[in-house]
Amino acid sequence: MTIASSSSTGVFRSTETRSKPDPVAGRSWLTTQAATKESTVAIEVRNLSKRYGTFQAIKDVSFEVIAGQLVALLGPSGSGKSTILRIIAGLEVADTGGVLLTGEDATRLSVQERGVGFVFQHYALFRHMTVRNNIAFGLKVRKLPKSEIRARVDELLELVQLTGYAGRYPSQLSGGQRQRVALARALAPRPKVLLLDEPFGALDAKVRDELRVWLRKLHDEVHVTSLFVTHDQREAFEVADQFIVLNAGKVQQVGPPQSLYLRPSSPFVAQFLGQVNILPLETIQLGSRSEAPFPSSLPGLALQSDAQIYVRPHDLEVQRERNGRPCWGARVERITPLGGVVRMELSIKGDHRIQLELISDPSLDLNFAPGDTVFVTPRHMNVFDAKSHTFHPVVLGHEIEARA
């Protein structure tokens, strides 16, 4: 079933982007998309800035959202995500900059004129209205014929899997069901774009997990261009085609999720998108010199005292004996089983603490204990050169190979 109109703007057009991720190519997704003849920009924000009193909430923010995509706008609390969303919706006015929706300048349009649907964490349903009337609200305002409204609401009830709940009131629904009604209400008038501001933020973890999967499936059916705000990087990875990472009111990096994870452009992005160990580059030399130490420099990077290694916990291998590859000798400090994975905290030369994660597997010898000496090899790491503010990805094979 599809509820999408065959709009000439291409807003509801299907895209293949999610099924063909390009994790390490490092190309700008904007360039990649622009090369596709049909790709249309559904949301464009240009040089947005906004102050609250003397506080600069967002600073010169520009980005584009390609029609049909589900894009996550993510960043820590207070980074300006909601401010940007409210400016796009027309609920807030920027000090400078503009908003284009499907190519048209929307900067001075009212909320109603923008044709934007939104679902906010605290944007409650109308309590005195049934589910059917909540969903029908935007259609009644537009004075559509009754039979048309009825058919459209039925279609949406099916889409959000709430057929049979039409006569209930919001107080008779669970939190997850209420947010599904809110989504149906937002989709009813066939918005040009859908804005979601932490829509599952108030729900418990299990329901959130289910709704994410559900939202992604729904988006694959409907293809309405969606901008999804979250501070939760796991949630973003689960639903989004593209990431726009924000910090302190500025765009940090834009691109496919996996590209940003593997090729962060800044220490902020590296740390925000998952766990990462940060070690001074000189630690590399702490392995025993007689047993396959790390080279004193990495190709393409002069050894600098202020360079740092960024290595993810799951990119570290651990063994009891040296195996001929470059490794760090380390002491096991703590072991924490976490269900599917086991987390180990290790110390290198006493003062450098690192974490690594191993898949729980009963057939493996994970019988490590605090106090044990182990040897750790990074499969993949990023060396951050503070002088040029750039990352150099390094993959350790039989010899060290740097990929610029």
Q: Which residues here bind ligand ADP, judged by CB under 6 A?
A: 52, 55, 57, 75, 77-83
Residue of 286, 285, 305 whose CA lies nearest to 295: 285
Compare residues 239 and 396 and give the one whose CB is closer to ligand ADP: 239
Distance CA 214, CA 322 (A): 46
Nearer to ligand ADP among residue 57 and residue 186 (C-beta): 57
C-alpha torsion 295→300→306→310, nearest 10? -80
Q: Closest separation between CB of residue 197 and ligand ADP, Å? A: 7
- Rank residues 55 and 205 by Cβ distance to ligand ADP and give the closer one: 55
User: How many residues does the structure list for the chain?
Assistant: 404
Cα separation values, 113 from 104, 116, 148, 226, 282, Å:
12, 8, 22, 18, 59
Picked from ligand ADP, Mg ion, none, the partner binding residue 57 (CB below 5 to 8 A depending on kind) is ligand ADP
Residue 79 touches which member of Mg ion, ligand ADP, none, C-beta under 5-8 Å by kind: ligand ADP
- Nearest approach in angstroms of CB 181 to ligand ADP is 23
Nearer to ligand ADP, 82 or 259 (CB): 82
> Can you state the angle between helices 175-187 and 205-222, rounded to 10 degrees?
20
Nearer Cβ to ligand ADP (76/176):
76
Residues 6+ apart with CB under 8 A from 263: 24, 26, 382, 391, 393
Structure tokens at 339: 């269900």
The Cα 370–Cα 336 span in angstroms is 11
Residue 274 C-beta: closest distance to Mg ion, Å? 21
> Of Mg ion, ligand ADP, none, which one sits near residue 52, judging by CB under 5 to 8 A according to partner kind?
ligand ADP
Q: Which does 80 bind (CB under 5 to 8 A by kind): Mg ion, ligand ADP, none?
A: ligand ADP
**Nearest distance, CB of residue 52 and ligand ADP, angstroms:** 3
By CB under 5 A, name the one of 33, 69, 82, 134 that touches Mg ion: 82
The interface region with Mg ion, picked from 80-88, 142-150, 308-316, 349-357 by CB under 5 A, is 80-88
CA distance 38 to 135: 32
In angstroms, rounded to a whole number, what is the distance separating the alpha carbons of residues 43 and 106?
10
- Least separation, in Å, of the C-beta of 227 and ligand ADP? 13
N-to-C CA span, the chain: 46
Q: Which does 382 bind (CB under 5 to 8 A by kind): Mg ion, ligand ADP, none?
A: none
247 or 277: whose CB is closer to ligand ADP? 247
What does the binding site for Mg ion look like in residue numbers (CB under 5 A)?
82
